[in-house]
Structure 1
Amino acid sequence: MPLSPHVPDLGALELLLDVVATGSIGAAGRVHGITQQAASARLRALEQRAGVALLDRRARGTRLTEAGTAFAAWATRVVEAAHDLDAGLAALRHQGTARLRLAASMTVAEHLVPGWLAALRARDRADPVQVTLTATNSAAVAQLVRDGAVDLGLVEGPEPLADLSRRVVGTDRLVLVVAPDHPWAARRSVSAAVLARTPLVTREVGSGTRHALEQALASAGASPSAVPTMELSTATAVRESVRAGLGPAVLSRLAVAADLREQRLVEVPVAGVDLARELRAVWTGPAHSPPAGPARDLVAIAARSQPETRL
């Protein structure tokens, strides 16, 4: 039986759901690569076709009407089913082998992704997913996602990434670490101002860890002013440099947990600075849902394991 002429197209449903996810028509339009005016016109056409008012447009943002709330719930199921259909067809075109092109920041790739992929493989043991993983800094991960080179990115740090859809999948905490014989090892804490003017062993520009530290210090009124002692491309290299006595560093607790337990490094509290940060999955396309298939499954696995990442 043919559908009613009141049933809108999938693209319009996705646009409406992205208005809900982002809170504004302009932001939803950017997700779809169209102007705010074009997005607004498309949404008005959707309301005309549906025959009900779906959105309450206000100066401070756009909200769903009562009818729109019910409509959005139905639309979510329709869009998710369409994505599942798309993923199923893609699997058939590739002879049933699911593939996931993944990029992750160095910290996430080294310490979290292996466990998440193991859970994904255990879930799909009968038809294992083919995964390619690129480990690089957060800025490069975001660019790979924008370029369509990967299906999903996993990043750390406070960068807003307004042009990408995103979901928080966990939290992490940065810690200031020194070698056991460093003068700071005996201190009860270090102030934000002292840390900001101290040359550190750091990750390279573009690293989520470095950006998170700079933002945290700036929020505490102490923007970094010292030239780094060294700039290195991996957390492992930074950690080993600190152990060798080349200077303090601020790293993810994930990267130094074993060294702290074995007392190869000493954590020094930083007074008045919030060093917690979010770990996020990023992708292109609808903001309300990651790409269907293995990418969506991996995001769900990561989000379920979130308590283990709160260190």
Structure 2
Amino acid sequence: MLFDLTDLRLFIYIAELKSLTRAAERMHLSLAAASNRVKEMESRFGVRLLYRENKGVQLSPAGETLLVHAQQFMQQVERMKSEMQQYNNGIKGHIRIFANTTAVTEFMPEVLGEFLARHPHVNVAMEERLNQDIVRAVQEGTADIGIVAGMNQVPGLEFLNFSTDHLVLVAAPDHPLAAAGSTSFASTLEYEHIGLHEGSTLQHFLTRIVAESGQQLKLRIQVRSFEAMCRMIAAKVGIGVLPQSVAARYAQSMGLVIVQLTEPWAARERSVVVQKLGTLPQYARELVDFICTRAGKAETEAQ
């Protein structure tokens, strides 16, 4: 074995404190024992990890590389300990979900509310990420379940389509495009837009579409939620592109107009992404089924 957890903790402390002596004290090791551990790691890796100087120690290039991996490894160990500790507190399962903006803010709260009520011993961690980051996380095992829109099949992953995400233009009633019924996205670019924050999947998608066309998006303001977007649109700050299911909910209460976009990309398939559905724990497979049935039904009703 190249190292153990004590070796990694010791090495991280050495890097932080720039002192072998102080790192040994923090680890409750003798200086000789700490020095021997470092020498053994250097011998096993076949490289020098530290430069010993009068003022302390400095990491070699190899030591810097080891430090990065040691920190990542220890973070994973702490995460494992945290998740395993939950079993002592009555938690029998843990599911990690990475999802796009619409999923996180619109339909997943209701889906998880019902699912968790039926599964009190399951814990869920959900994070909003961009589509490509979601797929990468599922590939690497960082996330158990991903929820994306407009993504093609990726080798080694299973995509389960559960609904179609239609993007539409939303405008105030007296806006020049409000009476159009339908319009191209390109025709909207001469007007000022309301956008979501930079980390949102939808904003990233629209920014890419505009960049590929060689045009510019006139972003008047960016906000954190679809509701805030609609409030800005109602206040005539600008127009915005939203999922139709979201737009339909706010259009009635805020007196907004929905205009269909004519581009083919306006219709995007929503999918649950997993490595292999059959290898997920039973409770995770049940959550996938919840997402596919509840979310798909909710969007159909909204439209």
Same fold (TM over 0.5): yes
Partner in structure 2 of residue 191 of structure 1: 184
Partner in structure 2 of residue 260 of structure 1: 251
Deviation at 1:279, TM superposition (A): 1.5
* Residues 290 and 299 in structure 1, CA contact (< 8 A), matched pair in contact too: no
- 1:304 maps to 2:297: no
Residue 183 of structure 1 aligns with an amino acid whose one-letter code is: P
Inter-CA distance 243–161: structure 2 relative to 1 (3 Å threshold): farther
* Residues 168 and 281 in structure 1, CA contact (< 8 A), matched pair in contact too: yes
Write 1 or 2 for the structure with the bigger share of helix: 2
Structure 2 counterpart SS, 1:141: helix
- 1:181 maps to 2:174: yes
Instruction: Write the distance in 1 (CA, Å) between the matches of 2:126 and 2:258.
Output: 31
Counting only pairs closer than 5 Å after superposition, residues 45-194 of structure 1 correspond to structure 2 as: 94=87, 97-124=92-119, 127-158=120-151, 160-162=153-155, 164-194=157-187
Instruction: Write the distance in 2 (CA, Å) between the matches of 1:163 and 1:202.
Output: 34
Inter-CA distance 265–281: structure 2 relative to 1 (3 Å threshold): same
Deviation at 1:94, TM superposition (A): 3.3
Deviation at 1:177, TM superposition (A): 0.3
* Residues 214 and 223 in structure 1, CA contact (< 8 A), matched pair in contact too: no
Q: Which of these residues, 265, 269, 273, is aligned with residue 278 of structure 1?
A: 269
* Residues 185 and 263 in structure 2, CA contact (< 8 A), matched pair in contact too: yes
Inter-CA distance 139–234: structure 2 relative to 1 (3 Å threshold): farther
Provide, for residues 113-150 of structure 1, a one-character-per-residue CA deviation record: whole Å limited to 9, x for no partner. 122213323433xx431122223443443344344333
Deviation at 1:178, TM superposition (A): 0.9
Instruction: Write the distance in 2 (CA, Å) between the matches of 1:216 and 1:289.
Output: 36
* Residues 176 and 270 in structure 1, CA contact (< 8 A), matched pair in contact too: yes
Partner in structure 1 of residue 216 of structure 2: 226
Instruction: Write the distance in 2 (CA, Å) between the matches of 1:214 and 1:137.
Output: 13
* Residues 198 and 226 in structure 1, CA contact (< 8 A), matched pair in contact too: no
* Residues 131 and 151 in structure 2, CA contact (< 8 A), matched pair in contact too: no
Structure 2 counterpart SS, 1:262: helix
Instruction: Write the distance in 1 (CA, Å) between the matches of 2:267 and 2:218.
Output: 22
Inter-CA distance 160–223: structure 2 relative to 1 (3 Å threshold): farther
Inter-CA distance 122–224: structure 2 relative to 1 (3 Å threshold): farther
* Residues 139 and 157 in structure 2, CA contact (< 8 A), matched pair in contact too: yes
Query: Percent identity between the aligned chains?
Result: 26
Instruction: Write the distance in 2 (CA, Å) between the matches of 1:254 and 1:205.
Output: 22
Structure 2 counterpart SS, 1:166: strand
* Residues 102 and 131 in structure 1, CA contact (< 8 A), matched pair in contact too: yes
Residue 249 of structure 1 aligns with an amino acid whose one-letter code is: G
Provide, for residues 16-46 of structure 1, a one-character-per-residue CA deviation record: whole Å limited to 9, x for no partner. xxxxxxxxxxxxxxxxxxxxxxxxxxxxxxx
Instruction: Write the distance in 1 (CA, Å) between the matches of 2:97 and 2:272.
Output: 10
* Residues 99 and 146 in structure 2, CA contact (< 8 A), matched pair in contact too: yes
Structure 1 counterpart SS, 2:195: strand
Deviation at 1:263, TM superposition (A): 4.0
Instruction: Write the distance in 2 (CA, Å) between the matches of 1:225 and 1:187.
Output: 22
Structure 1 gap ranges (5+): 1-89
Look at both structures and tell me which one has the larger radius of gyration over its CA atoms.
2
* Residues 197 and 224 in structure 1, CA contact (< 8 A), matched pair in contact too: no
Structure 1 counterpart SS, 2:92: coil
Inter-CA distance 228–297: structure 2 relative to 1 (3 Å threshold): farther
Partner in structure 2 of residue 235 of structure 1: 226
Instruction: Write the distance in 1 (CA, Å) between the matches of 2:264 and 2:191.
Output: 15
* Residues 150 and 268 in structure 2, CA contact (< 8 A), matched pair in contact too: yes
Instruction: Write the distance in 1 (CA, Å) between the matches of 2:265 and 2:207.
Output: 11
Partner in structure 1 of residue 70 of structure 2: none
Inter-CA distance 224–123: structure 2 relative to 1 (3 Å threshold): farther
TM-score (norm 2): 0.58
Instruction: Write the distance in 2 (CA, Å) between the matches of 1:174 and 1:199.
Output: 18
Is 169-178 or 200-209 further displaced after alignment? 200-209
Cα RMSD between the aligned structures? 3.5
- 1:245 maps to 2:240: no
Instruction: Write the distance in 2 (CA, Å) between the matches of 1:119 and 1:129.
Output: 12
